[in-house]
């Protein structure tokens, strides 16, 4: 299976389980890995046979800036489902990273990663 990558798309949103996250907001980074067959698009040099990167970005932006959701797990699930419903993907991997969560300790970031596949008929 071929892959299209989106790395470290940055958004500001109001998701989180703590009231200050919903009030103050924070940065979120979204990484995607889209699984599909890219051979038809490559052979014919045809955007209509692949995924429009701009449309994917706008969809992720809209979902990320919606909400608020208490869990980044919910955000990741909504992004994955929207992408699978909208595009001819076989699989999607979504990683949501919170670089500045309001929890004590020393770390670079926290986040979740999910993989969802199109159901087989």
pTM of the model: 0.93
pLDDT tens digits along 59-93: 999 999 998 999 999 999 999 999 999 999 999 99
pLDDT digits (tens, 9 = 90+) for 26-62: 999 999 999 999 999 999 999 999 999 999 999 999 9
Active site residues: 98
68 preceded by a cis bond (ω within 30 of 0): yes
The whole-number pLDDT of residue 90 equals 97
By DSSP bridging, strand 110-117 and strand 26-36 are unpaired
Full set of structural domains in the chain with CATH: 2-117 (3.30.1130.10)
pLDDT at residue number 103: 83
Q: Look up tokens 């470290």; give the residue.
A: 8
Can you give the pLDDT at residue 74? 97
Which residue, chain included where needed, has tokens 């979902």?
Answer: 63
pLDDT of residue 102: 83
Close Cβ partners of 75 (under 8 Å, ≥ 6 residues apart)? 15, 28, 63, 64, 67, 69, 96
């Amino acid at each position: 299976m071929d892959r299209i990558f989106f790395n470290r798309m940055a958004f500001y949103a109001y998701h989180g389980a703590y009231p200050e996250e919903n009030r103050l907001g924070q940065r979120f980074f979204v990484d995607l890995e889209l699984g599909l067959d890219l051979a038809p698009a490559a052979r014919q040099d045809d955007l209509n046979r692949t995924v429009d990167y701009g449309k994917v970005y706008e969809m992720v932006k809209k979902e990320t800036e919606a909400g608020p959701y208490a869990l980044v797990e919910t955000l990741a699930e909504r992004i994955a489902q929207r992408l699978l419903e909208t595009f001819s993907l076989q699989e999607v991997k979504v990683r949501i990273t919170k670089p500045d969560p309001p929890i004590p300790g020393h770390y670079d970031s926290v986040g979740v990663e999910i993989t969802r596949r199109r159901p087989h008929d």
